């Protein structure tokens, strides 16, 4: 009994120390200062998500481009620092912000309620609409949310599309893959019958693959599925600066222009 008590008291003391530490770190918000001191903004993203972030040759050099890249550059400019892109698979993008490997994440990230518990998000900058890509030759077969019953549908690992497909495509078998390109290949080779992606990304793949098409199936999106910039929890001062940039870009219709320009570049390039 005594030992149990001792352990308990020890645990409680440790807990209160931890919460004290948590309090003091959140009251002193150095989110902007940290980036200014380093002189660079490290941005986590999964660059196989055209038109938001993808790799292409620029003057013969493999370069990450896209609408999110332009947003990141504008934020770095606002902070007066250089920008550095850190490429990784999508299921690591958010955790790299939590661990401090990246300062922020811009990767077509939906600011869902779940994620809002763990991260701070900027104002949203793009609305998320989900669609299902299928083989053009099978377009007539898949018209309703239960048309894929018993069949396989691919979604990107760690994305909200995993949930969208699970909840809305009745009876479909959901397969999570790390890379979007892999999902498209599996669809083309017939290993899966559908792929769930957001509209501009799906349109890009369909424009480059004449054997694919967007199905009539209607999927619903949540109010909090729109894209936003993710930051560590407690980034009050950073969020203010990021929001200022997003507001300005939205007001001048720059985001739509970035998306359009990047889309045209992505469908014209050979990958």
Question: Is 159 among the residues that bind ligand ARG (CB under 6 A)?
Answer: yes
Question: Is 85 among the residues that bind ligand ARG (CB under 6 A)?
Answer: no
Of residues 217 through 256, those in contact with ligand ARG by CB under 6 A are none
Minimum CB separation of residue 182 from ligand ARG in Å reads 12
Q: Tell me the residue nearest to ligand ARG as measured from the CB.
A: 49
Q: How open is the CA angle 100-36-55, to the nearest 5 degrees? A: 60
- Residue with Cβ nearer ligand ARG (108 or 194): 108
- Residue with Cβ nearer ligand ARG (119 or 142): 119
Q: Which of 31, 96, 128, 145 binds ligand ARG (CB under 6 A)?
A: 128
Site map (CB under 6 A) of ligand ARG, residues 167-206, x = contact: -------------------------------x--------
Q: What are phi and psi of 234, to 5 degrees?
A: 90, 10
Of residues 21 through 60, those in contact with ligand ARG by CB under 6 A are 46, 49, 53
Minimum CB separation of residue 255 from ligand ARG in Å reads 15
Q: Return the H-helix or E-strand segment holding 16.
A: helix 2-27
Q: Facing residues of 53 across strands? A: 49
Q: Facing residues of 65 across strands? A: 54
For the sheet containing 48-49, what is the strand order? 48-49, 53-58, 61-65
The radius of gyration of the chain from alpha carbons, rounded to an integer in Å, stands at: 21
Place of tokens 């770095």: 76
- Residue with Cβ nearer ligand ARG (32 or 51): 51
> Using an 8 Å Cβ cutoff, are 12 and 220 in contact?
no
Tell me how long the chain is: 271
- Taking the C-alpha atoms of residue 59 and residue 44, their distance in angstroms, rounded to an integer, is 24
Q: Return the H-helix or E-strand segment holding 86.
A: strand 82-87
* Residues touching ligand ARG, count (CB under 6 A): 13
Question: Is 66 among the residues that bind ligand ARG (CB under 6 A)?
Answer: no
- Taking the C-alpha atoms of residue 45 and residue 108, their distance in angstroms, rounded to an integer, is 9
Positive/negative CA dihedral, 246, 248, 252, 254: negative
Q: How open is the CA angle 67-73-76, to the nearest 5 degrees? A: 145
Q: Which of 31, 92, 110, 168 binds ligand ARG (CB under 6 A)?
A: 110
- Residue with Cβ nearer ligand ARG (90 or 142): 90
- Residue with Cβ nearer ligand ARG (128 or 147): 128
Q: Which of 32, 76, 81, 160 binds ligand ARG (CB under 6 A)?
A: 160
Q: Which of 56, 96, 107, 193 binds ligand ARG (CB under 6 A)?
A: 107
Q: Which residues bind ligand ARG (CB under 6 A)?
A: 46, 49, 53, 90, 107-110, 128, 156, 159-160, 198
């Amino acid at each position: 009994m005594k030992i149990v008590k001792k352990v308990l008291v020890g645990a409680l003391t440790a807990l209160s120390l931890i919460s004290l530490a948590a309090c003091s770190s959140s009251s002193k918000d150095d989110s902007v200062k940290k980036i200014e001191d380093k002189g660079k903004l490290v941005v986590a993203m999964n660059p196989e998500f055209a038109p938001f972030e993808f790799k292409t040759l620029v003057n013969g050099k493999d370069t990450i481009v896209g609408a999110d890249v332009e947003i990141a550059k504008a934020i770095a400019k606002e902070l007066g620092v250089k920008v550095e892109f850190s490429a990784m698979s999508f299921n690591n993008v958010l955790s790299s912000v939590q661990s401090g490997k990246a300062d922020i994440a811009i990767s077509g990230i939906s600011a869902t309620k779940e994620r809002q518990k763990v991260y701070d998000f900027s104002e949203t900058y793009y609305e998320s609409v989900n669609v299902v890509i299928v083989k053009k030759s099978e377009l007539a077969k898949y018209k309703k949310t239960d048309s894929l019953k018993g069949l396989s549908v691919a979604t990107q690992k760690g994305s909200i599309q995993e949930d969208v497909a699970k909840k809305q495509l009745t009876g479909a078998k959901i397969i999570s893959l790390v890379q979007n390109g892999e999902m498209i290949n599996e669809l083309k080779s017939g290993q899966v019958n559908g792929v769930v992606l957001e509209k501009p990304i799906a349109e890009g793949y369909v424009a480059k693959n004449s054997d694919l098409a967007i199905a009539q199936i209607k999927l619903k999106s949540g109010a909090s599925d729109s894209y936003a910039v993710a930051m560590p929890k407690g980034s009050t001062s950073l969020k203010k600066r990021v929001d200022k940039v997003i507001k300005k870009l939205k007001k001048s219709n720059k985001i739509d222009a970035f998306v359009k320009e990047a889309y045209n570049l992505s469908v014209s390039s050979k990958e």
